[in-house]
Amino acid sequence: MAVRHRLIKVSPQAVWAVLADGTRYAEWVVGTSSSEPVRGLWPQVGSAIEYEIRVGPLRLSNETVVRYCEEGSELGLEARAGVLGTARISFRLRPWGPYCLVFVDEHPLQGVGGALHNVGVEALIQLRHRAMLARLAGLCEAQTGTDSEAEAEARTAAERPTRLHGRRRAAGHGTGGHA
């Protein structure tokens, strides 16, 4: 089972708002180029979105159906990929201080994907999940104006010497020369 997690620097409600918008699926799910709701009201159980996967000139239309939904905290999906089979994908959101810890867990259910599932496939799914969670974090954090961790650290490091120098100067220290 490919399980991955990421701390997203927004509230669980902000992450849920993106997960609960079926029209945004292609913005954060790696490999999809478009998505649209086709049945029911996403993310209610039984609702579905259709999306397209493009690999070079090849285009495949697939469908993802909501199998479980606990609003604001859990979303269970079944991705149907034609001859490749189906996969169970589960998202769990947990509050982590002011932020959201997101877990994604994916496992093939039926078809060729299930029959060929092995350690190599598991590694590829892990890489896909890393990219997918990074995209999800980027969308959520951009919506709320939250810096990514790297941006915040870089900005803080760049500002530190200026602030320290400014405080010393205001206090009459470090202005050069001795009295």
Identify whether 176 is part of a domain: no
Give the start-end residues of each E strand in 84-126.
Answer: 86-96, 99-110
Residue 124 confidence class, pLDDT cut points 50, 70, 90: confident
Kindly state the average pLDDT of the residues 39-43: 95
Residue 33 sits in a domain whose CATH number is 3.30.530.20
For residue 75, what are the β-bridge partners? 69, 91
Lowest mean pLDDT among 37-46, 59-68, 84-93, 168-177: 168-177
Residue 97 lies in domain: 2-170
Rounded to 10°, the helix 12-19/119-144 angle is 110
What is the model's pLDDT at position 142?
93
> SS3 of 105, please?
strand
> How many structural domains is the chain composed of?
1
Identify whether 177 is part of a domain: no
Q: State the pTM of this model.
A: 0.74
Identify whether 104 is part of a domain: yes
Q: Per residue in 65-88, pLDDT tens?
A: 999 999 999 999 999 988 778 999
Identify whether 31 is part of a domain: yes
